[in-house]
Chains A and B, each alone.
Chain A
Amino acid sequence: EDQVTQSPEALRLQEGESSSLNCSYTVSGLRGLFWYRQDPGKGPEFLFTLYSAGEEKEKERLKATLTKKESFLHITAPKPEDSATYLCAGIYGQNFVFGPGTRLSVLP
């Protein structure tokens, strides 16, 4: 069974304190790796797509990277508005398999 796991489950940061979130996935059959942000009571919102090991994508304070067996979402100098649950998903065949998410809280 294709699996996507994420760590940590929850992360509390002070404003400005940089950190990274991890996503590990079943390597065989992976066609792409996606990062989403989900706010309470909302649907997931797309952040990044990564297709090849070594690929990096950046947007404001977020940078996503992909290696052969895991992906990282780096958050540089986070602000309270970055507080959300961050989900990663691998696409296998036509199915997006989601990880359980990392709940990020950024304290002012």
Chain B
Amino acid sequence: DTAVSQTPKYLVTQMGNDKSIKCEQNLGHDTMYWYKQDSKKFLKIMFSYNNKELIINETVPNRFSPKSPDKAHLNLHINSLELGDSAVYFCASRRGLARNTGELFFGEGSRLTVL
């Protein structure tokens, strides 16, 4: 049973389209994240939610909109896709916010290719 699952795993689309990536965790964690890993393999934080409340919102174009319908789900919607949005997007979860609430658990990633 996958702990953090993302769909779809691969996404190929044209510039200007809108797409969504879904993430679900079955670990009972309170905190979820979206990270972007570019072609140089650098993982950069995009957003984080704790119990459905946005707590981290890095400098990300407002074409990117996260949504957390409940604490087990964090979806990412991207409008007007651009070539530079091509990357692997990782969802992750963590037990909570306190210092000793452990590590991030990652999904397998969603590879987005914008043509």
Residues of A within 8 A of B (CB): 31-32, 34, 38, 41-46, 49, 51, 85, 87, 89, 91, 94-98, 100-101
Residues of B within 8 A of A (CB): 4, 31, 33, 35, 40-45, 48, 50, 55-56, 90, 92, 97, 99-100, 102-109
> Is A95's CB under 8 angstroms from B48's CB?
yes
> Is B103's CB under 8 angstroms from A43's CB?
no
B107 contacts across to A, CB distance below 8 A: 43
10 closest residue pairs by CB, A with B: A43-B106, A98-B43, A46-B103, A31-B99, A44-B106, A43-B108, A43-B109, A95-B45, A43-B107, A100-B42
Which has the most chain A C-beta neighbours within 10 Å: B4, B44, B107, B109? B109
> Is B45's CB under 8 angstroms from A100's CB?
no
> Is B104's CB under 8 angstroms from A100's CB?
no
Please, could you name 30 A-B residue pairs with CB atoms under 8 Å apart, sorted by A?
Answer: A31-B99, A34-B103, A34-B104, A38-B41, A41-B109, A43-B4, A43-B90, A43-B92, A43-B107, A44-B43, A44-B90, A44-B104, A49-B103, A51-B99, A51-B100, A85-B41, A89-B43, A94-B55, A94-B56, A95-B45, A95-B48, A95-B56, A96-B33, A96-B45, A96-B104, A97-B45, A98-B35, A98-B44, A100-B40, A101-B41
> Is A46's CB under 8 angstroms from B105's CB?
yes
The answer to whether residues A94 and B31 also contact, given A43-B106, A43-B107, A46-B103 and a CB cut-off of 8 A, is yes
Question: Contact check: which of B43, B55, B108 meets A87 at CB < 8 Å?
Answer: B43
Complex-state Cα separation, A43 to B106, whole angstroms: 6
